[in-house]
Amino acid sequence: MNPTFAARSRFDVWAPKAQSVTLLADGTEYAMVSGEGDWWTAPGAPAGGEVDYGYLIDGAEKPVPDPRSRRQPEGVHKLSRTFDAGAYSWGDSGWVSPGLDGNVIYEMHIGTFTPEGTLDAAIGKLDYLAGLGVQYVELLPVNAFNGTHNWGYDGVLWYAVQETYGGPEAYQRFVDAAHQRGLGVIQDVVHNHLGPSGNYLGMFAPYLTEGKSNTWGDSLNLDGPLSDEVRRYVIENLLMWFRDYHVDGLRLDAVHALHDERAIHILEEFAVETDRCAAELGKPLFLIAESDLNNARLIAPRSVGGYGLAGQWSDDFHHAAHVNVTGETVGYYEDFDSIGALAKVYTEGFFHNGTWSSFRERSHGRPIDPARHSLHQLVVCTQNHDQIGNRAAGDRISASLNTAQLAQAAVLNIAGPFTPMLFMGEEYGALTPWPFFTSHPEPELGKATAEGRLREFEKMGWDPDTVPNPQDPETFVSAKLNWTEQERPEQARLLNIYRDLIALRRKNKDLHNPDFTSVKVSFDEDKRWLVLHRGGTAVVVNFADGEREIPVAAKKVLLSTEPGESIGDGTVSLPAHGTAIVKV
């Protein structure tokens, strides 16, 4: 970040594309004056108090929101409202962040986590999450989008917290409450594209680069003319979460879609600025990238040419675990159709580390250097919002697996060597689906979204009759967790297994060891068993439909997911789909 950038007043706006800009503040117009770097300022504008405002560009009659708007009380097409982030009285001075330490992350969507779908309602569930034993809650994107409900990846105002969730002060209350319960907060942020409705950035400046599109639209202008200010825009957005909202970490959505050919990549700049902010605030802050590149450069130290991010998602673990637990081998799952694939992921981090990818029809990835990386840098899961929501019906694995198999998936993840993440409701085998949903007010956009969804799944061979209409309000309602499901015996049993697993991971040093070289795996492809060796602890897994006697010299069973396990002379016997963690 260039330290020479001047401080700005609250209504200043960068608008190099504009010939004239007028500030409309509480019904009064203020002519703005262009200054250095095409920043416009409004002499005489209100210096204090809460103000509803917008900008009239080049004589337009309709005002548009502030690109740095903190509040959009009437939606993304209406006026912005000022927000004093410093007015909140924080009570989290006793919170000490552990950083990205390998303990469990819990991914949640505010709109469907509770019946009310608000940040304040989610506060009421924080004691439950603390009792579950997770270390961090990770919120799907909360920045302002058009409509009343959305996954969060259609946001258009990156500085504003969605009003239907409660707005920015409710967000501060949530983080404060989480910290007071010993829970850290990770916020999912999206900077690779903007949603299809409510994006007025192009009227102000070249925030986007035409002709360099990604899957979702035009790419952010990170390396073209005037991109210094665009980079500043996204970096200041990252720092906002840390400074104004006390967030501990950020998950960076789909970083492979960030097109940047500069010598210093934007991800490296993100990491540098995050480290500076951490030093300024005197606490750990971290960034986790979502990337399908399988390129360890993202998380390698800057001293050896890496970007220096704290961690990244590893989909290879999900795919290998999913195939072995469910038997599903369609699409990108095909490459992972073996226990050996899971064994490779456990020991090498990536499955595709320079190997042929049938889904991509090319070789993919590069190896991880175990000497330079920690196991905890890879964030893994057996379910998440994408892997569930991008299925035709949005069905969880709990819709097709029994409790033994669900518990087995939990052990593969939570007792595995990486940083485990859960998706809300997974811990009790939630039967509610989590399909893709939208609430675009524009009929044409809603129709196009629904039809596009059908075409996408027809190409993949899914029955279109199983694809819910994302615009149907009932699709959104169906995704809300049904908390009464925990009262059912099998789901209550699964919840207890999750609690015991997380507690064991926290106290067992072997399971928490971040050293890549500490991981050893043995397996039998034909008999369908695997043993994950972690020092004096072993995770024994029977994927078969029948009982298996597995060669492990165990001294004691620390945890078992299915009744009927037994320790023999140099063996552990497990029932069908049984899993045990043993002392060796």
Residues 6+ apart with CB under 8 A from 347: 519, 520, 521
Report the Cα 487 to chain-centroid distance in Å: 29
Alpha-carbon distance of 221 to 260, in angstroms, equals: 8
401 SS3 class: coil
Count CB-CB contacts under 10 A for residue 462: 16
- Say if CB 476 and CB 439 are below 8 A apart: yes
Tokens 């058009």, residue located: 146
- Say if CB 380 and CB 320 are below 8 A apart: no
Please give the positions annotated as active site.
253, 290
* Burial zone of 81 (CB within 10 Å; 0-12 exposed, 13-18 middle, 19+ buried): buried
- Say if CB 206 and CB 16 are below 8 A apart: yes
Structure-token pair, residue 560: 């078992």
Query: Pick from 572, 567, 544, 549: which is nearest to 408 by CA?
Result: 544
- Say if CB 308 and CB 275 are below 8 A apart: yes
Residues 6+ apart with CB under 8 A from 303: none
How far is residue 376 from each of residues 195, 379, 420, 500, 512, measured CA to CA in Å? 32, 7, 9, 20, 9
Structure-token pair, residue 160: 């504003």
* AA letter at 48: G
- Say if CB 159 and CB 70 are below 8 A apart: yes
Residue 418 has, within 13 A of its CA and on its CB side, a CA count of 28
Tokens 């319960």, residue located: 181
Tokens 């270390």, residue located: 135
How far is residue 94 from each of residues 121, 179, 181, measured CA to CA in Å? 23, 8, 10
Query: Pick from 343, 345, 346, 322: which is nearest to 332 by CA?
Result: 322
Q: Read off the DSSP letter of residue 434.
A: -
Alpha-carbon distance of 435 to 48, in angstroms, equals: 44
